[in-house]
Amino acid sequence: MADIASRFRRALSVVGIVIKGSADEADTTSPSITSGAGVPTATEPSGSFYIRNDGAVPTSLYRSAGSGTWAPVIPAYNLSAEITANGSAQSTAHTLGAVPSVVIAIPSDLTGGVFVVTYGTHTSTNSIATVTTGEKYRLLSIR
């Protein structure tokens, strides 16, 4: 008996699930639940969910706003490797796929004792910061 139960421990296995409010609601307007690797790109109805199954953390659950627009349910962040400042604006790649709403320079080694930061105009691929020459820091970029 236990062998049969273990074979059926997953109640349902399907390609995607459409959630209908009534039997006559169209599939094209009903929210869905799907999964895949990478950031979602499909155009799904508003309220649909996408589960990222490639191990990406912290962004593994997305919600559709419709028209191909997806937003992570948990805000995404990226923490860079340690950077040594050169006193000029430095571009640091992030993996957010959108312009970060917040960027914070975190000192990791205050050799000169002075840590001055000037933020530039961030892009959907890079965070920009100018930090005192010689100081070491990491950039925390939050979507």
Q: Are 56 and 10 part of one and the same domain?
A: yes
* Percent share of the chain, pLDDT over 90: 39
Give the domain-ending residue among 30, 48, 72: 72
Q: Of 42, 43, 76, 45, whose CA–CA distance to 59 is shortest?
A: 76
On whether both 12 and 54 belong to a single domain, the answer is: yes
- Domain identity same for 40 and 94: no
Per residue in 104-113, pLDDT (tens digit) is 999 988 777 7
- Residues 61, 83, single domain; the answer is no
Least confident of 18-22, 31-35, 129-133: 18-22
* Same domain assignment for residues 46 and 13: yes
- Structure-block tokens of residue 43: 């155009």
Q: How many CB atoms lie within 10 A of CB 1?
A: 5
**Same domain for 86 and 67:** no
* pLDDT, tens digit, 9 for 90 and up, residues 23-40: 787 777 888 888 888 889
Take residue 88 and report the two structure tokens written for it.
Answer: 């000029």
Same domain, 38 and 96: no
Of the residues 44, 72, 100, the one at which a domain ends:
72
Entry pTM:
0.54
Edge-to-edge strand ranges of the sheet holding 126-131: 89-93, 126-131, 117-119
* pLDDT score of 16 more than 80: no
Amino acid in position 56: A
Tell me what the mean pLDDT of segment 37-49 comes to.
90
More confident residue, 7 or 96: 96
Rounded Cα distance between 99 and 96, Å, is 7
Structure-derived torsion over alpha carbons of residues 87, 140, 108, 131, reported in degrees to the nearest 10: 10
Residue 46: give the domain boundaries.
2-72
Q: Which of 56, 72, 88 is the last residue of a domain?
A: 72
Number of compact structural domains in the chain: 2
